[in-house]
Amino acid sequence: MAKYSEEFKIKLVNEYLYGNIGYNSLSKKYNMPSSTPLKNWVNAYKAQGMKGLKRRKKKEKYSVQFKLDTVQFMLKTGASYLETAVPFDLNNPSLIARWVESIS
């Protein structure tokens, strides 16, 4: 089961986008230990809309070439995991960290 429901994510993203509250304050308001998930949700929503907040039903399988292309993009551009995830339609930036680790 997911740690945070889709409804909860939508509520917080909307409150951040349309309210007058920052990541840290909003995270504290809802007793979240970190503001990182909220930042990820907001960026995923901005890049992919509602699709970015939905949990994928089945585990996605990525080709070796896709993984290499993603990692090469990140290394070439100096983008963060989050900035790299957006153009590759990934809603879990930590996947990229695992790919980088496995290549090293």
Domain edges within the chain? 6-52, 64-103
DSSP string, 45-99: HHHHGGGGTSPPSS-----HHHHHHHHHHHHHHT--HHHHHTTTT-S-THHHHHH
pLDDT tens digits, one per residue of 5-29: 999 999 999 999 999 999 999 999 9
The low-confidence residues of the chain, meaning pLDDT below 50, are: 1
How high is the pLDDT of residue 2?
Answer: 64
What's the pTM?
0.67
